[in-house]
Chain A
Amino acid sequence: MEVPVPKEKWTGSIGEMELGASAEKGGSRSSLRLGGNRGLPFLSFEDPAARAVALAGFVADTLDDVPLAVKKAFGEAVNDPVGWAVAWKEKGADLICLHLTSTNPEEKDASPEEAAATVMKVMKAVELPLIVYGSGHPEKDAKVLEKVGEAAKGERLLLGQAEEGGYKSVAAAAMANGHAVIGFSNLDINLAKQIVILLTDYGVGRGDVIIDPLMAALGMGLEYSYSVNERIRISALSGDAMLQVPMICDCVSAWKAREASDDVPHAGDALERGIWWESTTALAALLSGADILVLGHPEAMNIAKDAVKGFRGEA
């Protein structure tokens, strides 16, 4: 008996974009293509084009907020963002996600110039595309990302992050220097759309925006993110142009869940459990529509890599 394949008739698709500029495009990186999908994640009967998912390795230039298990996995390398990024490249990351936490005005308060120098050193050592965040303090981030954007002009970085309450300076830093920008919103499809509208109204091209709808980790609200992401994808495929941009999901926050690192009676080896805590979060992000995953533990990256291969039928 022939079972008919029930395809959804989507009218939209996710816009394509490139991160990392190669030498011929005026940069010094390898480059990645994202987006272009015309169906829900990994359904080859709906969208025969293989889905491109990029896996980013998390790097920070101070260690206060880095999960202990992640520090342990990289050993000495975490003391230097350059060494850490090199280690990620060896472990198979597609790109590096660098958090310039040293610029935090309440702590180390490194200058924008120092931060830009760190970025340039990482870029020199590793030719992968780069995502760069400040320290999460809007006023300081504006200055830091401006300097970083200028220093890395033409390299097609992904700058994070623009929020409804403060997006102009990071948008300007991206526009002036050929970078892409992350539009962050807090677990809400309408806010996700809103930040894309604000950025494009301000002059950023839609092909230069990636949305971060906030990936809540396993046990910490994952179900909200799963459904918000899924709704964003379905709206985009149904024709909502302002949501037809790639999506980034940070899974490192999974380590903040108590169950990911504490001893729990009868719950087995804590490290193994923690790795699956991050990996399960990653899998939920993949199946709900993520185009870029940011991962902290190298074993979680291996698992995510296997998952992507598995979904594409390559494993």
Chain B
Amino acid sequence: MPTAIEIFKHLPKKNCGDCKFPTCLAFAMQLANNKAKLDDCPHLSEAGKNALASSSAPPIRLVKVGVGRTAVDMGDETELYRHDKRFFHPVAFALRLADDLGEDDLYKRLSYARSLRFERVGQVLKLDMLELECRSGNAERFASFAKKVSAETDLPLVLRAKDATVLSAANLIKDRRPLLHGADASNLKEMCAVAKGCALPLVVGADDLNGLADLVEAARKEGVEDLVLDPRPANLKELLERCTIIRRSAIRKTFRGLGYPIYLSIPAGRDGMLMASTAVMKYGSLLSFEELPASNALPLMVLRQNIYTDPQVPIQVKPDLYPVNNPGPEAPLLFTTNFSLTFFTVMSDLEKSKVPVWLQVVDTEGLSVLTAYSAGKLTAESVKNALTATGALERSRQGRLIIPGMVARMAVKLNEATGLQIVVGPKESSGLPKFLRS
């Protein structure tokens, strides 16, 4: 997107307010932040519209794979660094299934794929796709394999083959909108014909970026626009550098021919895990795993969750009463807020103290203690309501409440609201172990 000033130049400058913003400049600033649409201005000239539409075309094309609620959106990213705004479409994880798998092994692998599902701070982390690879070299076999698997799963599919005749099996399941993989310099025309014929997205792969840019240009001439890039890195260095060049070229608009999502084939073992972690942080859109052991899947999925968090919207934990170190009715009661970072820090210090306690987490919409207090999201009332909702006072029968030192001034009101004796705890969470032991 161009800057607000660049946009402003093309606006009518009437400040009529028809776009619901007071001035043209205000509207331009909203446009620059993707918070308004060009069409909201009814007075924009054709010339201005064209100029803005072409410069506001997304630097990285949005490519959709699959249909319905499991569909995956890839690309349409606008940032190099997540702190500049955010990364939008979390990198998708696919597990590879080869068509030479025996019946038993296939069902085992499908059920394994389903088991890769975890709940964490209110979000579900899971596998997003399955990749079906033709290893048999037999078109009929691959076609019946694709049909069989597609009936077993509602996940989006990638169909991977080196031969366009084999890949034409896509026609059987094209209403599932699978992604096709396997176009390179040797088969581009044929692969494009299949993709175009079925109106499906296509991955093009080359061993260097110049060759990849040639393939993209050729594929577009064949009429395929929904493209995905496979830069085929042989090692970590190539992965990091190629993905960075592709992303930077697109975002900085130094070169527009590589503005597509990135597909990466991830080998088994340690090298694969290192490549995958790097690709989660550095611009991958779809990772296809040869193997994905569960002990690797969880850290990778949490890394993805972390990196794709909107920096302006804090992760929140569930407001609840948390037992720490096996507390009984005589254990003390503390509270903190539901901002994840605050919660994790307090939790870790409480565990470190080895003192049994009850921790009440109060819903502050993800704000930390002092911020929540200043914003009026942490009040004597909200603490009291949280304690009532969880039945905290039946669990901890001390008749006392330890409050964060930062909000010592809440003590009197809290005492009035709850009737509990209020004890002011340390200002920093790190002081908790010492405080609790004494």
A252–chain B nearest beta-carbon distance, Å? 12
In the bound complex, residues from chain A placing their C-beta under 8 Å from that of B306 are 218-219, 222-223, 226
Name 14 interchain pairs, CB-CB below 8 A, sorted by A: A1-B257, A3-B258, A231-B81, A267-B118, A268-B296, A268-B297, A269-B295, A270-B295, A272-B296, A283-B274, A283-B277, A306-B274, A307-B274, A311-B240
Q: Is the CB of A44 closer than 8 A to any CB of chain B?
A: yes
> Interface segment, A69-77, A173-181, A273-281?
A273-281
In the bound complex, residues from chain B placing their C-beta under 8 Å from that of A44 are 237, 241
Bound CA–CA A288/B370 (angstroms) = 29
Known: A3-B213, A280-B300, A284-B277. 12 other contacts (CB 8 A): A1-B214, A42-B240, A42-B241, A45-B241, A45-B245, A218-B302, A222-B306, A224-B341, A268-B297, A272-B296, A307-B236, A310-B274
Listed in ascending order, the chain A residues whose CB lies under 8 Å from chain B are: 1-6, 42-45, 65, 106, 136, 216, 218-224, 226-227, 230-231, 234, 253, 256, 259, 264, 266-270, 272-273, 276-277, 279-280, 283-284, 287, 303, 306-307, 310-313, 315
Bound CA–CA A259/B295 (angstroms) = 10
B82–chain A nearest beta-carbon distance, Å? 6
Bound CA–CA A65/B349 (angstroms) = 11
- Give the total of B residues in contact with A, Cβ under 8 Å: 61
Bound CA–CA A122/B39 (angstroms) = 70
Bound CA–CA A108/B217 (angstroms) = 70
Q: Are A227 and B217 CB-contacts (below 8 A) given A42-B237, A273-B299?
A: no
Nearest B residue (CB) for A315 = B235
In the bound complex, residues from chain B placing their C-beta under 8 Å from that of A306 are 270-271, 274
Binary contact track B261-274/A, C-beta < 8 Å → 1, others 0? 00000000011011
In the bound complex, residues from chain B placing their C-beta under 8 Å from that of A222 are 303, 306
Bound CA–CA A266/B214 (angstroms) = 44
Q: Is the CB of B434 closer than 8 A to any CB of chain A?
A: yes
B146–chain A nearest beta-carbon distance, Å? 27
Q: Are A3 and B209 CB-contacts (below 8 A) given A224-B341, A268-B295?
A: yes
Bound CA–CA A60/B342 (angstroms) = 27
Pairwise interchain contact A303-B294, C-beta atoms closer than 8 A = no
**From B117, B245, B297, contact of A5 by CB (8 A):** B245
Q: Is the CB of B374 closer than 8 A to any CB of chain A?
A: no
Pairwise interchain contact A1-B217, C-beta atoms closer than 8 A = yes
Q: Are A227 and B299 CB-contacts (below 8 A) given A3-B258, A44-B241, A315-B236?
A: no
Q: Choose among A44, A277, A307, A312 the residue with the greatest number of B CB atoms under 10 Å from its CB.
A: A307
Q: For chains A and B in complex, what number of residue pairs have CB atoms within 8 angstroms? A: 152
Pairwise interchain contact B257-A219, C-beta atoms closer than 8 A = no
Task: State the majority secondary structure of interface residues on B.
Answer: helix
Bound CA–CA A6/B245 (angstroms) = 6
Q: Is the CB of B83 closer than 8 A to any CB of chain A?
A: yes
Nearest B residue (CB) for A221 = B341
Bound CA–CA A2/B281 (angstroms) = 26
Q: Is the CB of B393 closer than 8 A to any CB of chain A?
A: no
Bound CA–CA A266/B126 (angstroms) = 12
In the bound complex, residues from chain B placing their C-beta under 8 Å from that of A310 are 235-237, 271, 274
Q: Choose among A45, A218, A221 the residue with the greatest number of B CB atoms under 10 Å from its CB.
A: A221
Listed in ascending order, the chain B residues whose CB lies under 8 Å from chain A are: 81-83, 115-118, 120, 209-210, 212-214, 217, 235-238, 240-241, 244-245, 248-249, 252, 254-255, 257-258, 270-271, 273-274, 277-278, 281-282, 293-300, 302-303, 305-307, 309, 311, 340-341, 344, 348, 351-352, 430, 434, 437
Bound CA–CA A221/B235 (angstroms) = 29
Bound CA–CA A268/B214 (angstroms) = 43
Bound CA–CA A6/B352 (angstroms) = 47
Pairwise interchain contact A256-B249, C-beta atoms closer than 8 A = no
Bound CA–CA A253/B83 (angstroms) = 23
Pairwise interchain contact B270-A3, C-beta atoms closer than 8 A = no
**From B294, B311, B340, B352, contact of A227 by CB (8 A):** B311
Nearest A residue (CB) for B234 = A313
Nearest A residue (CB) for B348 = A256
**From A264, A266, A273, A280, contact of B303 by CB (8 A):** A280
Q: Are A311 and B236 CB-contacts (below 8 A) given A43-B244, A272-B295?
A: yes
Nearest B residue (CB) for A220 = B344
In the bound complex, residues from chain A placing their C-beta under 8 Å from that of B300 are 280
In the bound complex, residues from chain A placing their C-beta under 8 Å from that of B120 are 219
In the bound complex, residues from chain B placing their C-beta under 8 Å from that of A259 are 298-299, 302
Bound CA–CA A277/B303 (angstroms) = 9
In the bound complex, residues from chain A placing their C-beta under 8 Å from that of B241 are 42-45
